[in-house]
Amino acid sequence: MGYVIRTMGLFLMLTLIFMGIGAIVWFFLFDGSTGSLMMVMAVFIVLAVMINLFSFFFSKKIVLKAHKVKIITRADNPRLYGIVEGIAVSAAMPMPQVGITNNPTPNAFATGRGPKDAAVVATTGLLNLLTDAELRGVMAHELAHVKNRDVLIMTISATIAGAISILARFALFGALMGRRDAGTIIIMMLAYITIPIAALLIQLGISRSREYKADQAGARMINDPLSLASALSRLESGNIAKPMDHENPSSAHMWIANPFGGKKKAGVSLFSTHPPMQERIRRLNEMAGRR
């Protein structure tokens, strides 16, 4: 319940930031009348709805194409397909699509709107590195993301955060083109710098929260926290040794491990898409000790 409340609170903050930019545009770029406020807010509401609808219907297809994922059958890779199928059956979930992307970096991700429209993907590097038990732990983590609809949550939060950055740029451009006074332009420049950073921090906070939740839920699905803990340890080393060269930083949150090999020595970085791996492992070991 704590994860749900925290996520809802962070989404509320994103929404307020989005609406706040609308108020800034109204105040500085329009005449400040009630009519102009209604117009600006209507435009921003429509934009938010369009962004969320686009994310809802097209994110899975875009992600799979961007990472050149091959959707497989049991005949293509009985090991991976069988592991995913076994977890889905035991968790009473619809069978997702199973995909493989040819990438030496050991990693995995899930995409899709929810349990009835999902795909779980492993890199070739992941399949070559992990034992069957560890691979089962990783796939359970990804199926937990699917079951909790984390993929949709993170896609929408990332899209809104991106839209906030674009709209902040639009507001600054409007102030400059409108030849506003120096004080107004300074305020708009500060908003242009600080508001997107605030939106990014909230988005990353949502991402880290959902990773902890997926670790916990995935370990419970297979009743084996230690295999997932072992897999995470090997993934950290593997991603440091073979980081992804061409991955877009904006999609780093979707992987089970930081694809750029970043290693945090202590604490949680505000700008990290993932919680510290050692803390994730510690929590899983603690789960195993409580059984």
3-state secondary structure 228-259: HHHHHHHHHHHHHHCCCCCCCHHHHHHECCCC
What's the pLDDT score for residue 265? 45
Whole-angstrom distance, CA of residue 266 vs CA of residue 259: 19
Which residues are annotated as catalytic? 142
Of residues 37 and 195, more confidence is placed in: 195
% of residues, the chain, pLDDT over 70: 68
Asked if residues 125 and 106 have their Cβ atoms less than 8 Å apart, the reply is: yes
Cα separation of the two ends of the chain: 21
- Stated pTM of the model: 0.75
For residue 262, which phi and psi values (nearest 5 degrees)?
Answer: -65, 130
Asked if residues 56 and 152 have their Cβ atoms less than 8 Å apart, the reply is: yes
With a cut of 90, say whether residue 138 has pLDDT above it. Answer: yes
What's the pLDDT score for residue 31? 56
Of residues 151 and 48, more confidence is placed in: 151
| Reported confidence tier of residue 251, pLDDT bands at 50, 70, 90 | confident
What's the pLDDT score for residue 210? 86
